[in-house]
Structure 1
């Protein structure tokens, strides 16, 4: 059984264009991708500057994209990260939040994400404060579905090192306090999980008191380390049996909008084929569908350089050969490879701190 699949545009760095977003929706909807959560880290009006209203031009562009989603039969949603709101949820903050919700409601959004990730979290009353905020939002938003992302959305201890030690029983308290209709996101045993097991997901569901809404950090390739690589290979480590343990499966796509469609298509195939799934064959089918036979062959022949070696290992001579090879194609995916080779998608540590 295939769960509800969708796209989460939740990465740091260079965002997609509106045309790229609409093209992705139209390309992946036939494969079963039924929702799109717009939440790029670079959009300050959803994050550190969430109190500021959207400019009219941006709101108009968002409305156009929302319509493109509706035309494709895809649920349109926005991920709002009200930065450190839980530190002071006073009347002024509530007024600012109500104004932002009204703007978002004007877009006709179906899903609203309330994200508490990437913020300091070592507070003893963190869970009840976040429960209060999410319920306050749910009472005022016109969205059909509210999806909350916890501050500690994985077992990975890296979050405790960066944002402070998670409060005891945080996930259990959050799950116990939230209305059962509200979804809760989870990225797995790690921030970028290598695999998911039904047993792990069942354990998390027990803690949350609901099945996790999966935020899968593949093929995302942001950050100083990952942006040096293209993530193109097919999905592995996502057994079809896990579909019974999750409420939905959203993938955080790579910075390269067209190339991201290749692994995205393989995830749909892995659920469809179950135990018969073969990841190399799935990659080849998806690559040919997205790129055409010749460009797909060029990508497969250079996977070891593009995905495994990366920019820190590729020599100047190899880079020139790659530019010559992909420069021969008039295709947006080839242009993404060329831009990546030129460093256009590179992300520094400072962007992780400021976006």
Structure 2
């Protein structure tokens, strides 16, 4: 069965250190093997993509980009280059349009045949008085300006190059499923056929439904809609790793009109591959997708011989959305232990031992090296749980429980990695419900029963 989606792939669109050239080459090869067909190049911290969008790529960077385009083509993957002029483009300034055209022609000479224009994560409204005079005040004026610039780019640059008709864009109001004044302005000037990226009903979402898609398409005037899925991205919380399967995407999104999905991954390339394998499985056949089976296949495909070594860490970091418990099975065992007077059952003992054994994971492969910080953090969770249960049994003083938590908390706030934090918070809150905690300490919420 062929996929119901025209666009299936990855968008490198996170904030933080961009992936290396070698990682991108590996990515496009893997996307091809997985049946994915798009790689959208949009790293926020590539200066020539965003802050210095008018400037040409220096020779070394340009050569690498050309190599990446060729590798993508060989893998059956289309590289979509995203330019982000939204920070400071003056939409009524012919010089800025000329700069955009010049940059696109230079990229075309490197082999790029498809483009996107991005206007996300910028101030609402139009800062330049000339733009406001032509397009109007407020967010509606910004929408008109963005649509007009996209339409002009399509007509004056892409069509003469012979690659018209397939432009994509990211609006400033990229999240949410209902009309806004910005979207109303955008559709007034956005040429027919230009596709729109959309992140769902919010920026990072637990679910995407057919109703969300239908409403979003209507709010964008019927333009083709591609889901920019902020999964498994972690640039908003670098202490987290999201290693589990894609969850909460309804099977009927294509039938509701969605043209495709591109997943925005983590800053860490290697760990992102677990989730991306499951995105590929979902995009190939949403009706047949089974998250646990996809996760198991991804574990073996990505970790290989290390699958069993890494299984406990993957299980501890498989929740989605970010607000969900990181390790529901561990949390359930912790609750059962408290209900049993603090006694560790066999399963809980085994889980804590597995987390403790992750310390000192030998960084002998790129995946192991990337996961090492989380592996080293895992024993802290186990230590807090053990101390909290020991206190309930009368074997561990309250100060020792607090010390275990403080050590883990301080490390986490210092950008150490966070593994099954919810289980540790839960245990601490149950063991010491009356302790006063520092402002911002997550265990305070657990102690309060939140």
* Pair in the same fold by TM > 0.5: yes
Residue segments in structure 2 that go unaligned for 5+ positions in a row: 126-137, 320-324, 327-352, 377-410, 417-450
Q: Distance in 2 between matches of 1:113 and 1:88?
A: 16
1:2 equivalent among 1, 4, 7: 4
Q: Evaluate the alpha carbon distance shift between residue 340 and residue 81 of structure 1 in structure 2; reply closer, same or farther with a 3 A threshold.
A: farther
SS of aligned partner of 2:358: helix
Note if 1:289 corresponds to 2:301. Answer: yes
The alpha-carbon distance between structure 1 residues 318 and 75, as it changes in their structure 2 partners (threshold 3 A), is same
TM (norm. structure 2) is: 0.67
Compared CA separation, residues 233 and 98, structure 1 to 2 (3 A)? same
Look up the SS of the partner of 1:184 in the other structure.
Answer: strand
User: 1:275 Cα shift?
Assistant: 4.3
Match of 1:149 in 2: 170
Structure 2 residue 114 is matched with structure 1 residue 111: yes
Residues 221, 203 of structure 1: alpha-carbon distance in 2 compared, 3 angstrom cutoff: same
**Does structure 1 residue 255 correspond to structure 2 residue 267?**
yes
Cα shift readout 1:202-232 (whole Å, capped 9, x = no counterpart): 1111121123111000011112x2x111111
Per the TM alignment, residue 306 of structure 1 is displaced from its structure 2 partner at its CA by 4.3
Give the whole-Å Cα distance in 2 for the aligned partners of 1:320 and 1:51. Answer: 51
CA offset at residue 156 of structure 1?
8.8
1:243 is paired with a residue whose SS is: coil
CA contact (8 A) 2:9 2:39 kept: yes
1:213 partnered with 2:226: yes
Q: Which residue of 2 aligns with 1:336?
A: 370
Please give the TM-score of this superposition, normalised by the length of structure 1. 0.83
Distance 2:282 2:4 in 1: 9
Matched residue, 1:222: 235
Q: Which range is displaced more, 94-103 or 52-61?
A: 94-103
1:97-132 residue CA offsets vs partner (Å, 9 max, x unmatched)? 222122211122122110000111133411211122
Task: Indicate whether 1:96 and 2:96 are aligned.
Answer: no
1:304 Cα deviation after fit: 5.2
Q: SS of the counterpart of 1:255?
A: coil
CA contact (8 A) 1:85 1:93 kept: no
Contact kept? 2:34, 2:280, Cα under 8 Å: yes
> C-alpha distance in 2, partners of 1:240/1:110?
31
Aligned to 1:179: 191
Deviations 1:185-213 (A, max 9, x none): 10001101111001110111112112311
1:2-52 superposed Cα distances (whole Å, 9 cap, x missing partner): 313111000111111111111111112122210111111111111111122
Deviation, structure 1 residue 323: 4.1
Shift, 1:270, TM fit: 2.7
1:177/1:286 Cα in 2 relative to 1: closer, same or farther (>3 Å)? same
Greater relative contact order structure (CA < 8 Å, 6+ sep): 1
Alignment partner of 2:168: what SS? Answer: strand
Question: How many residues are treated as equivalent by the alignment?
Answer: 325
Is the 1:24–1:258 contact (alpha carbons within 8 Å) kept by the matching residues of 2? no
Deviation string for 1:266-300 (max 9, x for gaps)? 123234454443212210111101111x4222332
Aligned CA distance change for structure 1 residues 103 and 298 (closer, same or farther; 3 Å): same
Determine the C-alpha separation between the residues in 2 that align with 1:131 and 1:207. Answer: 14
Cα gap change, 1:86 to 1:45, in 2 (>3 Å): closer
Is 2:201 the counterpart of 1:201?
no
The alignment's C-alpha RMSD in Å is 2.7
Is the 1:37–1:111 Cα contact (8 Å) retained in structure 2? no
Structure 1 residue 337 displacement after superposition? 0.7
Q: What SS class does the counterpart of residue 67 from structure 2 fall into?
A: helix
Match of 2:314 among 286, 300, 303: 303
Of residues 24-33 and 301-310 in structure 1, the stretch that sits farther from structure 2 once superposed is 301-310
Shift of 1:168: 4.7
Q: C-alpha displacement at 1:318, in angstroms?
A: 9.8
Aligned counterpart, 2:427: none
Instruction: Find the aligned partners of 2:123 and 2:17 in 1 and give their Cα distance.
Output: 24
Alignment of 1:16 onto 2:24: no
Q: Secondary structure at the match of 2:111?
A: coil
Which structure would you say has the larger Rg?
2
Tell me if the contact between 1:266 and 1:283 (Cα under 8 Å) persists in the aligned partners: yes
- Shift of the 92–260 alpha-carbon distance from structure 1 to 2, 3 Å rule, reads same
CA 1:39–1:340 in 2, change beyond 3 Å: closer, same or farther?
farther
Pick from 142, 145, 156: which aligns with 1:126?
Answer: 142
The residue number in structure 2 matching 1:188 is: 200
Unaligned runs of 5+ in 1: 158-166, 311-316, 348-355
Query: 8 Å contact 1:218–1:251 — kept in the other structure?
Result: yes
